[in-house]
Structure 1
Amino acid sequence: MAPAAPTAFVVGEALVDVVDAGGRRRAHPGGSPLNVACGLARLGVPTRLRTSLGDDADGALVRAHLSAAGVDLDPASVGEQQRTSTSVASIRGDRAAEYDFDVEWEPDVVVVPATSLVVHTGSIASVLRPGADAVHAALRQAPPSALVTFDPNTRPGVTPDRDDVLATVERLLPLVDVLKLSEEDAAWLYPGRSPEEVLRHHLSRGVGVAAMTLGPRGCLVATDSEWVEVGSAATTVVDTIGAGDAFMSGLLFALLSRGLTAAVRSRTLTGADVRALARAATTSAALTVARAGARPPTLEELLDATTVSADVEGPSVVETGCSAEPGPARSGSSGARAAVCPVARLMVSAPAHDERPPLVPSPEARSAPPTGRPRRAGQPVGDHLRPQVVMAAGDPRGPRGHGTGSLPRGGAAAYVRVVDERVRTRLTAEQATMLGTLVGRARDARSAHPWLGDEAASEVVDRVAPEDLAWVGVDDDLALSIAVRAQLLDRWCRSFLHAHPDALVLHLACGLDTRWERLRPGPSVDWYDVDQAGVMELRERLLPAHHAGQHALVADVTTTGWLAGLPTGRPTLVVAEGLTMYLRPEAGGALLARLVDRLGVGAGPGGVMVFDAYSALGVRLARLNPVVRRSGARLRWGVDDPLTLEPLGLTLLEDLQLGDVLGPGIRARMSPRMRLRLRTALAVPAFRTMGRLLRYRF
């Protein structure tokens, strides 16, 4: 019977592992790509392997092994002039394996079957030339519907030039949808960087799912919006040969069996999806290390083990190091009242003042708390503060600062000397809220496990006078919520720019947002940062537009005429974060209508708008936020039903409500108190819809 058309196509080395365990030697077919192919086939996935084998005894051993596993061997894999590669695996006292390789890898042309839903490669085959060039060409020619998956599985004994291997890995990343590597791989390729930093780097290069195995500690699996950490399943380790490959085949099996390939490509995997992938992968690896050699589980074994694991663990899968809060959601009026503050606090554009110390303007500096009279509505931020006297701890020259005043209580040790280049801010009430989001992104960037990783925001904060930021208190929960909102809007923007590399981008109410720096659009994009005169003057000092295609446009977006000078006839992306809720309803509707009239399908190819909005309840509850109250900012426009905007010429594409934005993977990273409060609050429908992220076509 002819083999089934392959669903998975694997290309890479197959060899014979000679295992030396305390002087006892035994031979097993192996090689990372071969192990992944066998793992998929044993799980019932029709799989074809393109490798390089000799017409020799070792080659016959490998072919028999593949046949027994149900793998279809590509006929081009066997040649009379080839020899079968080998490795010697020595088992250490801790049951881990060390390898010595003798590898030949010189395939000419690799043809990817058109039926493939997964095209996988990795390890030696992806970096050892000349064969690696044929592998890379095959990945570039993969069918559009196929996921490209990759496991570097570094082998310094075969390819010892770290810089060359790293350069090859980096070149492959833009082609890769799913990447898995071990903690050891990461340490060799990216020395000094944490697992989170490495995975975040891979995601920033376009990878859809990035996973790292952490040995006995389990694994970390990440997407742009979800981070899940799962501990290892309990087992007795015989040896670790093939553990990482079994992890990979279990992960790919879960993707295929759950029908998630399209969700990976569209970057829409949910937290539940990612947890299921992580659990299947770790269970597959645990079953493999419990027996000698690379013998991945069968479908029956994996399903049995996964069912037992689910029965035992229940909902306690560890996400980013924190388990979900136990206990049922509380109900009743008292619970609802208690829930108002955390939801309102996390959703408002500017974060609330908090009892914790504010983010410092630089790693070395700490600024004084604000003193003086309350700020009047409309008064520029900073004018209500008593002039601060700041000095370096132990500075013999005494106090230095802006203006006159006395040193606040606490002594000189609590203050630092202000660098002369620090920029003072003079902003209206609504404009001042942008300092809160700036500080939130910077605090996230400086955290141990950044979500957005906005290093540019961190640099901008260092250039702002500390006394102008001292009133903006941001704790870790608020910083995370700010980072999550920015990241989700970035994801929509990145998707549009990928599809339209010649787009026109209007970044409305840009403030001090570093979105251009995060997205790095191509040179054919015309990007306009748009805001009022005072804001753009400050932005020019702190974040000047000096990149090709980036323009600064001074305009009040609620007025008419500012759109007249913009180019038309190009796909257009309009992004506005923290704008709509400050507009009057009639002004907001008029702005959207003008954008559609000037840039919509009637005037050209149209485009997409992405922005955040609050419900009427969200606008009212924003008054509870201390930073809104202290700044004097006023929120005006609430959108209860996003479909009510469609008569303006918009078509709703996506509506992410607050409950979706602050999903389980996000809440798991928050403080226990905030997780418990949010769990209660988000059980109330009116609170779940207080904040939204909206995407429209126009």
Structure 2
Amino acid sequence: MILCCGEALIDFMPFRDSEAQTAYRSCPGGSPLNTAVALGRLGTSVGFLSGISQDLFGNLLVSHLEESGVNCSLLCRVDHDTTLAFVSAKSAAGEVEYAFYAKETADRSLKLTDLPSCLPESVRALQFGSVSLVMEPTASTLEALMLRESPHRLISLDPNIRPNLIPDRTAYRMRFEGWLAQVHLLKASVTDLAWIYPGENFSEVISRIMSRRVQAVFLTDGEKGAWVYTRNQRVFAEAVSVNVLDTVGAGDSFHAAILHKLTELNYLDPGGLDRIGEEDLGICLRFANKVAALTCTRAGADPPRKSEVV
């Protein structure tokens, strides 16, 4: 099982109502939650660990996870409200921005005492990322879990930067580089790395990342395609051309698809990415690009099921 750890929130997606006014539709969201849902729909054994509210939105999130085949036994149900995120109107490329309402909310309230003393033996990998790694006390709690489990299980990370939630870029970069000492797989976008390392040469950034524990960097660049870098390989796959409705959840679907393929190909262990060859890296990239492209054809984070990926 892959255990996704982090935020679970409600995205409010803009649309035009019958009178051509802007209205908002509520959709389950949060990067790790989206990744878990995408994994479940692809048929991968997956669980989710987070603080989830007992309010009506929290119930909606749990139902959404369960309907997608996600194991919810490690959820921590709490009395805090659900985090809300309002999504901006789309750019011409389908890209969006977020405004978060997250003060003292459920998914940012996870404490060390909420963690299980040990994970089920079925857990082969843990996935972390995004907003939950900058919101305390959840961020420190998940860091502790990452540190505890990295010697025994594959750790995958997607920074999925949200600049409006990060007041100090330098402090974030130092924390990010601390995570890299525990991470085997890094999934990031070109935009993420450009924000973390402004003005720096990308080749040097990749080398800097790979000098840590990281065995593979999967780097997405929207319609320009995706790359994967290992210690001695570099593989590229073109993006799949689709009519983009929006890009919400596309990166999460890409991340899930990579983890799904690594599971199928038997590389989902702490040393797996040191064994993988160019052919299998290409298989992973091309599949992930298809899954991400299908997500872009739908409103909100609505990843495809495996039967839809041809």
Do they superpose with TM above 0.5? yes
Superposition pairs of residues 490-639 of structure 1, within 5 angstroms: none
Q: State the secondary structure of the residue aligned to 1:129.
A: coil
Aligned to 1:11: 5
Is the CA contact 2:85–2:99 (under 8 Å) kept in the aligned structure 1? yes
Comparing 170-179 and 87-96, the one that deviates more: 87-96
Question: What is the count of residue pairs matched by the alignment?
Answer: 296
| Distance of 1:206 and 1:133 partners within structure 2 | 20
Query: Which residue, out of 87, 90, 107, partners 2:88?
Result: 90
Give the Cα separation in 2 of the matches to 1:264 and 1:270: 13
**What is the letter of the counterpart of residue 229 of structure 2?**
A
CA distance in structure 1 between the partners assigned to 2:28 and 2:42 by the alignment:
18
Cα distance between partner residues in 1 of 2:164 and 2:270? 37
Task: Provide the C-alpha distance between the structure 2 equivalents of 1:281 and 1:241, rounded to a whole number of angstroms.
Answer: 15
What is the alpha-carbon distance in structure 1 between the residues aligned to residue 90 and residue 243 of structure 2?
16
Aligned to 2:25: 26
Give the match for residue 444 of structure 1: none
Change (3 A) 1:299 1:264: farther
Q: Check if 1:148 corresponds to 2:155.
A: yes
* Alignment pair present for 1:108 and 2:119: no
CA contact (8 A) 1:114 1:143 kept: no
Match of 2:229 in 1: 222
Equivalent of residue 295 in structure 1, options 292, 298, 302: 302
Structure 2 counterpart of 1:206, from 208, 213, 235 = 213
Asked if the contact 1:263/1:269 (under 8 Å) is kept, the reply is no
Deviation at 1:247?
A: 0.6
Q: 1:261 to 1:46 in 2, by over 3 A?
A: closer
SS in 2 for 1:261: coil
Which secondary structure state, in structure 1, belongs to the residue aligned with residue 165 of structure 2? Answer: coil
- 8 Å CA contact 1:162, 1:189 repeated in 2: yes
SS at match of 1:239: coil
In the TM superposition, what is the alpha-carbon distance from 1:199 to its structure 2 partner? Answer: 2.1
Partner-residue secondary structure (3-state), 1:72: coil
Asked if the contact 1:182–1:212 (Cα under 8 Å) also holds between the matched residues in 2, the reply is yes
Structure 2 unaligned runs (5+)? 17-21
Q: Spell out, residue by residue over 1:95-136, the C-alpha distance to the aligned partner (whole angstroms, 9 max, x if none).
A: 211101122302113233332111011001122222111101
Structure 1 residue 198: Cα displacement: 2.3
Q: Which amino acid aligns with 1:88?
A: F
Give the distance between the partners of 2:170 and 2:52, measured in 1 at CA.
Answer: 29
Q: Aligned partners of 2:257, 2:55: CA distance in 1, in Å?
A: 31
CA deviation profile, 1:527-583 (whole Å, cap 9, x unmatched): xxxxxxxxxxxxxxxxxxxxxxxxxxxxxxxxxxxxxxxxxxxxxxxxxxxxxxxxx
SS at match of 2:157: strand
Q: Residues 365-404 of structure 1: matches in 2 within 5 Å?
A: none
Superposition map of 1:449-460 within 5 A: none
1:173-572 to 2 correspondence within 5 Å?
173-262=180-269, 264-265=271-272, 267-302=274-309, 304=310
- In the alignment, what sits opposite 2:146? 139
Contact kept in structure 1, 2:153 and 2:269, CA below 8 Å: no
How far apart, in 1, do the equivalents of 2:100 and 2:47 lie? 24
Give the letter aligned to residue 87 of structure 2.
Answer: A
Preserved contact between residue 5 and residue 48 of structure 2 (Cα < 8 Å): yes
Mapped partners of 2:245, 2:2: distance in 1 = 29
Cα gap change, 1:122 to 1:143, in 2 (>3 Å) = closer
Higher RCO (CA 8 Å, separation ≥ 6 residues): 2
Q: Is the 8 A contact 1:40 1:250 kept in 2?
A: yes
Contact 2:52 2:75 (C-alpha < 8 Å) held by counterparts: no
Q: CA deviation at 1:143?
A: 6.7
Give how far 1:48 is off: 1.1
Is the Cα–Cα contact under 8 Å of residues 7 and 50 in structure 2 kept in the other structure?
yes
Q: Is the 8 A contact 1:209 1:264 kept in 2?
A: no
Specify the SS of the correspondent of 1:170: helix
Name which one, 1 or 2, has greater alpha-carbon Rg: 1
- Indicate if the aligned counterparts of 2:12 and 2:26 stay in contact, CA closer than 8 A: yes
> Which residue does the alignment assign to 1:495?
none
Deviations 1:209-234 (A, max 9, x none): 10111011011111001101111111
Check the 8 A contact 1:116/1:143 in 2, yes or no: no
The yes-or-no answer on 1:70 pairing with 2:69 is yes
Structure-2 separation of matches of 1:287 and 1:54: 30
Distance in 1, Cα, partners of 2:144 & 2:209:
21
Residue 234 to residue 266, structure 1, CA distance change in 2 (3 Å)? closer
Aligned equivalent of 2:57: 58
Q: 1:162 aligns with which of 142, 146, 169?
A: 169
Q: Which has the higher strand share?
A: 2
Give secondary structure in 1 for the equivalent of 2:87: strand
> Given that residues 199 and 211 in structure 1 are in contact (C-alpha distance below 8 angstroms), is that contact kept between their aligned partners in structure 2?
no
Letter matched to residue 73 of structure 2: D
Whichever residue aligns with residue 249 of structure 2, its letter is G
Distance 1:117 1:129, change over 3 A: same
SS in 2 for 1:180: strand
Offset at residue 11 of structure 1 (A): 0.8
Matches within 5 A, 1:655-670: none
Q: Deviations over 1:241-277 (max 9, x none)?
A: 0010001000100100111124844612211121111
Question: Does the Cα contact within 8 Å between 2:134 and 2:165 map onto a contact in 1?
Answer: no
Percent identical among aligned pairs is 32
CA distance in 2, matches of 1:179, 1:55: 32
Instruction: Say which SS state the counterpart of residue 171 (structure 1) adopts.
Output: helix
Does the residue aligned with 2:163 lie in a helix, a strand or coil?
coil
Q: Do the aligned residues in 1 keep the contact of 2:158 with 2:186 (CA within 8 Å)?
A: yes
Asked whether 1:39 is paired with 2:61, we answer no
TM-score (norm 2): 0.91
**What RMSD, in angstroms, separates the aligned Cα atoms of the two structures?**
1.6
Q: Counterpart of 1:28 in 2: which secondary structure?
A: strand
TM-score (norm 1): 0.41
For residues 68 and 266 of structure 1, the distance between their equivalents in structure 2, rounded to whole angstroms, comes to: 31
Among candidates 99, 124, 128, match of residue 135 of structure 2: 128
> Which secondary structure state, in structure 1, belongs to the residue aligned with residue 205 of structure 2?
helix
Deviates more, 1:67-76 or 1:84-93: 67-76
C-alpha distance in 2, partners of 1:267/1:70?
A: 30
Q: What letter matches 2:128 in structure 1?
A: T
> Which runs of no fewer than 5 residues in structure 1 stay unpaired?
1-6, 305-698
